[in-house]
Structure 1
Amino acid sequence: MEKIKVLHITQSVGGVETYLRQVIQNIDRSRYDLSIASCEPSLEKLCALHEVPYFHLNMSRGVNPFVDLQSIFKIRALIKKQQPQLVHLHSSKAGFVGRIGAKFAGCPSLFTPHGVSYLSFTGLKRMVFFMLELLGKRFTHKILAISQSEANRCVYEIGHKSENIHVIPNSMTIPSVPVLVPDKLGNLEGEIKIGTIGRLTAQKNPLQFVDIANGVIKGNEKVHFYFLGAGFHEDMGAEVKERVQYHGIENNFHLIGKGDSIIALNFLRQLDIFLLPSIFEGLPYALLEAMYEAVPCIVSKCDGNNDVIDNNDNGYACLVTDEFVAAITRLIKQPELAKSIGEAGKQYVINRHDIANNIKDLEKIYAEI
């Protein structure tokens, strides 16, 4: 049987990189021939590790008509040269220019937003990016959403036809035995450790994270807060440090630079509570990974988080800072409750987010398209 050639195109890393790693490691490589085009060095290393062809593409992060037009023609030329049967596009920028390039090349495409673009902005910027999504709709073949919330936005806000949208939730490898990894992080300070993983950008709402930390620390100085992922494609690092200084919690608040998957696992296994006050999400891998490690999770009520957290059952979903502080305080005071919440979260991930099951649905979608 001839292999189905799928070209993945992205500009982003983080959750997208984790997604691609899961696909590469679990898809039936005897039936599917994968390649990746991106501008990120980490993805080039990922491809080299798994013997997947990699193609370098320059794409601008913001709106840059000249560079974006160049990207469209480069993507079209790459598709014409490589002749994939399907192009799978990830994130807003690659999704926009890639859909147009694939359309011009006459190749069907599958677009995964990983969080629709306009949710990152307010005011005029939000309107501009929403209009770009409406424009992109004209060039869209099929959509693969990573959560039902993401699919709903595509249908009810952007106006895509529901029959053109598939939903497969972000998934992870569920090992048969606990994974043993070397300690690359060392011991974190504090009797009680609360943390998150992400970039210091508006999406992850780091200023509210600091405000929540302040509310908890003022009532219990044994608690330390950690943010893993600082210094990587961030634009709010200075603001976060200023807010920490304003509250006077420097001794109990820690920023840690971005690490690899082993450091992330070292980090999660030391946490007592995982905190994610994001403004929006697609469906965060960091949350799934924390839940799988049986860390009780407290999150914001936003897309992605709402798809995973059943409030008061396998975690807590909050809106305002006082709610977050109250939920954290409750779990600190009731360790048995924290343990049961963590175990419920782990079982949820095992039941619904096992890549061994969900990769079969992805293969089916690839074959159908």
Structure 2
Amino acid sequence: MTIDTQDRPTTRSPVHATWIPAGRRTRFALPAAWLLTRAGMLYLLIRDGLGVGGVAREVHGLYAHWYAILAQGAFPAGDPLWQYPPGAGPLLLAPGALPGLTYFQAFVTLTLAADAVVTYALARGDHDPRGAWLWTAGLPLLLHIPLARYDVEVTAFAVLALLTMRRAPRVSGALAAFGALVKVWPALTLLGAPRGRTTRQVWGSALVSAAAMLLVLAVAFRSPFSFLREQGERGVQIESLGGTVLSYARLAGWPGQVRYRYGAMEYVGPSVHLVATVSVALTAAACGVLLWWRVRARRYSEATPYDAALCAVLMFTVTSRVISPQYLIWLLGLAAVCLTSRRTTQRTVALLVVAAAGVSALAYPVLYEDVMAGTWLGCAVMTVRNALLLGGVLVSFRSLWKGTKE
């Protein structure tokens, strides 16, 4: 195995010079851009429901309802909408710790704080500023959705886990474990850990941290694993790849219908179970492909853990039965981490992720009625979004493979 940690000499392209402010200007331009874009997102959130979607009702209703149950020392057992690992409990309880604010106000405040932490972590030190700029400019493409979901906090765990892996592998493992106990996928950030001591330290810390936190949650709350049954009942969401196939089948006369089930709009009808089974099989195949890469990879650079994480999460996103718009928050965060290193192989993939985020905002909330109705316009929007993600998977794995072979 060859460990290559030195940056090769690079030339500054005209695109880099014009798109990214350099040196001292970045220290002022980036915070200004962050404040301006986040103010715009807050404005949309305040006007939520006035033609831009009713996105905030999850926090106002569902999250606040779960908070009341969690505050009594129990997880929402029996609630078909509760499909999250037990680590989500403390995260949903956290807004209650901010005095003088409503639950909604405190939730948005913590989300913005996590967003600011991610931006700072991406921009600090000798990181290539393109990573921080991608996150700052890319997140608003999802409009106000990121402020009304807790995926920004989860992404913060993953971003920090990757950025601390080289210097503090045990801290990295703990951060990945905490993120995985909230939404599972941050565990994939450890896939590309350099072999040897770093891998042992990262994975050892992750396992110990996860076990300790699970023990604490099992003692502090009732029914911490109730989410498993509800998660297993998930069907095919209309925004997934399988959902896109069924949308076209519906245009061709397939008798399936769209129903609100398990917190999402899903298809019900003949062959839906088959499509769901194929999705699960593809996810298993993606797992096998990633393990095969891990065994065969020989050449690691400082960017390899970042690139592997983005590739892995892209694979699991595309093969999922559910591709909610907030999943793009994860991909934007990981793409931004990749761009902090000049050795990354994922620059093209990062652009595809940004494009997919922009199209996702069209799918939800702007044109969601068309997506639900399965009109030609709705099908076209979802086809473009999912084609961008699928193309991202193919380019990502090919680039990762070429970058790590002997």
- Normalising by the residue count of structure 2, what TM-score does the alignment of the two structures yield? 0.23
**Higher strand proportion, which one?**
1
Structure with more contact order per residue of length (Cα contacts < 8 Å, sep ≥ 6): 2
**Higher helix proportion, which one?**
2
- Normalising by the residue count of structure 1, what TM-score does the alignment of the two structures yield? 0.25
